[in-house]
Structure 1
Amino acid sequence: DGNDLTHTFFNPDREGWLLKRGGRVKTWKRRWFILTDNCLYYFEYTTDKEPRGIIPLENLSIREVDDSKKPNCFELFIPDHRDQVIKACKTEADGRVVEGNHTFYRVSAPTAEEKEEWITSIKKAISRDPFYEMLAARKKNVSALTSL
């Protein structure tokens, strides 16, 4: 029910309006973002009870980017896996929850100062999954052995 969500988003690490570029259709949409519990949630309106999308920050990196269309941009991406789709979900217009299809999330903040604040907050929230890192290291070892 709605009360659960209220608790989820009570006292977030950061919240505010940002522009997000679409994954398939490359249009920019204004979304209300909430950063809490190592996840970035975005909503169409501040009054929405359900998020339009959820981006778990585990194993993601963040970087500033220059975009000719929008100022104050940054991106969330998977380091070393540029073509891999980020594990995330979004709610379609008809209410279905589907997997996201972004290999990176590009976001534009209203000001340079807000961009810096978001980057700092997201960097603090990003968590590393030791299991994932162990698998990546194993994969490297196996490919190194097979190339001998």
Structure 2
Amino acid sequence: MEPTTIREGYLVKKGTVLNSWKVVWVVLADDAIEFYKKKTDNSPKGMIPLKGATLTSPCQDFTKRTLVFKISTAKNQDHFFQATHLEEREFWVKDIKRAIACLQGGKKFARKSTRRSIRLPENVNLSELYVLMKDQDKGVKELKVEKDKRLFNHCFSGNTVIDWLISEDKARNRPEGLMLATGLLNEGFLQPAGDVSKDGAEKGAECVFLDQTEALYYFADSGFFCEGYSSDEDVILKEEFRGAIVKQGCLLKQGHRRKNWKVRKFILRDDPAYIHYYDPTKGEDDPLGSIHLRGSVVTAVEYVPDAKRQEVDGNLFEIITSDEIHYYLQAATTDERKNWIKAIQSVSKTGK
């Protein structure tokens, strides 16, 4: 029988010979992972057998890279993949773990909930805990904190997290709360903000989450940003980064000058309405560009001027800004294109 495709999409992969990270199109089948240089390629660049393989997530082998997971084959070959955002990594990890478990048990792949690899009590579900923590009424309150000539927005202190876990009966004491908070940090649900919390996380101590008032953290996918008061020491982030993240993921984008197509990570924010795009193989500190969406028009299109048919075909859409600048993008699937168009249209109407 032909292998069944379980999941496919863009991921960033570390080269097996060179240490460079590149975007690849990844296809997860029930017995292997294939990766392609381009989505339109007929033959894969490589294949990773899943029988006897193990998966490590989160993988903290790279201090400057987050959202990495590692697949180790039965022949002790390591393959490193990086997702563009937390939810995407969770989906891939869950399906790969299930595929490996089904192979080992001689069963046909079927999705069902799987336990996380972190050593926590079996009744703990970090995803559900994270949702409760983010509740605007009953969760951990996001604040503005002034520290070291900087203003941290949408953040909270480490001791506040432990206090909340105990008050909500999620932890019986501070050591137990510290274990839960460390699990949330290791899985990427919480992120360190500021020097104290970042130093704690980078040292890789047994408890990387700090139960301290000086240690600041923020929710992944929140509207966190930091403003500096000193132009000599800090970079003041622009107004366009203040909005909460509405949607993010990889899309194929046509360049304005050379008209070539490259995979870019897009982050859509509202209030003000901006979409920023990045090189997914690098960090999110410096976007390659931004599109102000207020008053823009976004529609599905069937073709793109100056684009060759073999380069890009299907699931195309166009953003026309209020300044009449045209951006051409391609989603991986029809549903993905529909979701992006809907999200961008909503933000362009309501955002500043």
Q: What range describes the TM-score normalised by the shorter chain of this pair?
A: 0.5 to 0.7
Query: Partner of 1:53 in structure 2?
Result: 46
1:39 aligns with 2:32: yes
2:90 aligned partner, one-letter code: E
RMSD: 2.4
Instruction: Calculate the TM-score normalised by the size of structure 1.
Output: 0.62
Q: Separation in 2 of the partners of 1:30 and 1:114?
A: 15
1:71 aligns with 2:66: yes
Divergent runs of 4+, >6 A: none
Q: Separation in 2 of the partners of 1:25 and 1:119?
A: 24
Q: Separation in 1 of the partners of 2:87 and 2:67?
A: 9
Percent of aligned positions that are identical = 29
Q: Which has the higher contact order (CA 8 A, sep 6+)?
A: 1
CA drift at 1:78: 4.3
Give the conservation status (yes or no) of the 8 Å contact 1:20–1:29.
Answer: yes
Q: Separation in 1 of the partners of 2:16 and 2:44?
A: 17
1:121 aligns with 2:95: yes
Give the secondary structure class of the aligned counterpart of 2:104.
coil
* Correspondences of 1:67-106 after superposition (within 5 Å): 67-78=62-73, 84-85=75-76, 103-106=77-80
Give the conservation status (yes or no) of the 8 Å contact 1:58–1:129.
Answer: no
Q: Structure 1 unaligned runs (5+)?
A: 1-7, 86-102, 131-148
CA drift at 1:69: 3.2
Q: Structure 2 unaligned runs (5+)?
A: 107-352
Q: Separation in 2 of the partners of 1:68 and 1:121?
A: 25
Give the conservation status (yes or no) of the 8 Å contact 2:48–2:73.
Answer: no
Q: Separation in 2 of the partners of 1:77 and 1:36?
A: 16
Give the secondary structure class of the aligned counterpart of 1:128.
helix
Give the secondary structure class of the aligned counterpart of 1:110.
coil
Q: Separation in 2 of the partners of 1:27 and 1:73?
A: 14
Give the secondary structure class of the aligned counterpart of 2:44.
coil
CA drift at 1:70: 2.2
CA drift at 1:129: 8.1
CA-to-partner distance for each residue in 1:8-61, whole Å, 9 max, x for gaps?
A: 68x721011001111121110110000013110000111000011111100001
1:118/1:49 CA distance change after superposition, 3 Å:
same
2:86 aligned partner, one-letter code: A
CA drift at 1:128: 2.4
CA drift at 1:115: 0.7
